[in-house]
Amino acid sequence: MTAAQAPARARPPLWRDVRVLRVVGQAAALVVVGMLLAWLWSNLQNNVDSLGIPAPTDFSYLNQPVGQSIAGSDLRPTQSRLDALQVGLVRTIQIAIVGIILTTILGVLLGIARLSQNWLVATFARIYVELFRNTPPLVVIIFIYLGMFINGGFLPRVGDAVEIPNLLAADIRGISVLWVSFTDSPWPYLLVLVGAIAVGWGVVRWRNHVQDAQGKPTYPMLSGLVVFLAMAIVGWLALGGPTELSAPSVAENGRVTGGNKLTPEYAALLIGLVLYTASHVAEITRASIQAVARGQDEAAKALGLSAGQRLRKVILPQALRVAIPPLSNQYLNLTKNSSLAVAIAYVEMTRVTSDLVANGAPAFQAFLLLAFLYLLISLATALITNFINGRLAIPGR
């Protein structure tokens, strides 16, 4: 080695040193943002002081009574504001779950219809998608609520209720639908159902295994379904029929009795959200199937798989993987859009908050809490999506 002399590294002056510049740049960014926040915070405190409202860190308002009730809930005006917020949170989650299920069914059907070889079916689906995708969801919701339900004569006046016997009865107070409810505690039978699903799933796995080993068709899905249904029915009988059906009907005086009553507000919000989001889900479904179908379908054909096998074994499993990230995005959108309820006075999380603020709760704290709750929901959705994505990921992709 010739370079025996220990190499010394030159030290540049500070203002030309990359590392120093990086640190300084970041510190400057922090200082600017910090100063902005500090300025806003001090304004907040000044304003709060001069207006004589609770300090921005004071959340005691949550313990005070709501002073009003919430339509369709058994919350008493004497209960705390925190309880009211909890009712709102549950409702937001509830409408999100119901909405997501309905949206998925409608959207996937429409997406497949878009690809139908029947021109009329495909055209119908395309018109649907173009119609709803390009209309603001608020317009859809308000149109259904004000334009159809409240002022449009779509729902008859009280005393003139209309019905589809045993399925649905409606007047301007709400839409009652056929509903299953439990006579007693629901848990025993729910446990039976969970068990039935687990066993049914096990049967599917087992029949699949046999099919692979012996090469003979063993109808795994069908057998699983039969086992599940058998267990569900036997369990229901064994528990002595723990459920009862409540069918809506129109009484003599023209009023609705029985069934599960959805208020017009809830129905309009749910229908609007589902109609709007389904148009996006349809597009995602179509695009995912098309993205996979090209090439893969040919390859599967070349292997001699039937059309049904190609769809089930090759196209759909891959399309699902393509679809999951954008789908989860749409589900999250639907959840966030449930806040549109404020426009039609359906009381969920956002509406509870704005009502609280209207009744004297401190605006800053109330909305901070609301934003935080939505962030939690978003975070949970992201975690679930990542988990599913990880489970489904194809190794090496």
- Residues 80-139 close enough to bind other proteins by CB under 8 A: 116-121, 123-124, 127, 130-131, 133-139
263 CB burial (10 A radius; 0-12, 13-18, 19+): middle
Please list every residue from 143 through 202 that binds other proteins, using CB under 8 A: 143, 146-148, 151-153
Binding range to other proteins, per CB under 8 A, among 78-86, 228-236, 319-327, 350-358: 350-358
Nearer to other proteins, 179 or 367 (CB): 367
290 binds other proteins (CB under 8 A): no
d(CA 379, CA 386): 11
106 CB neighbour count, 10 Å cutoff = 18
Binding range to other proteins, per CB under 8 A, among 24-32, 77-85, 224-232, 266-274: 24-32
56 CB neighbour count, 10 Å cutoff = 15
Nearer to other proteins, 196 or 311 (CB): 311
Please list every residue from 364 through 383 that binds other proteins, using CB under 8 A: 364, 367, 370-371, 374-375, 377-379
Binding range to other proteins, per CB under 8 A, among 38-46, 65-73, 80-88, 184-192: 38-46
Nearer to other proteins, 193 or 373 (CB): 373
Shortest Å, Cβ 242 to other proteins:
39
| Contact assessment for residue 243 and residue 233, using Cβ atoms and an 8 Å cutoff | no
154-182 residues labelled b (16+ CB within 10 A) or e (exposed):
ebeeeeebebeeeebbbbbebbbbbeeee
Member of 142, 256, 289, 315 binding other proteins (CB under 8 A): 142
Shortest Å, Cβ 156 to other proteins:
13
Please list every residue from 325 through 344 that binds other proteins, using CB under 8 A: 336-337, 339-340, 342-343
Nearer to other proteins, 142 or 231 (CB): 142
Binding range to other proteins, per CB under 8 A, among 42-50, 224-232, 261-269, 315-323: 42-50
Give the residue carrying structure tokens 């029949």: 207
| Contact assessment for residue 270 and residue 98, using Cβ atoms and an 8 Å cutoff | yes
Nearer to other proteins, 119 or 240 (CB): 119
d(CA 135, CA 141): 10
Nearer to other proteins, 26 or 389 (CB): 26
What's the chain's Rg over C-alpha atoms?
A: 29
Tell me the three state secondary structure of residue 351: helix
Nearer to other proteins, 299 or 371 (CB): 371
Where does 60-186 have alpha helices with state H? 81-114, 119-133, 137-142
Tell me the three state secondary structure of residue 250: strand
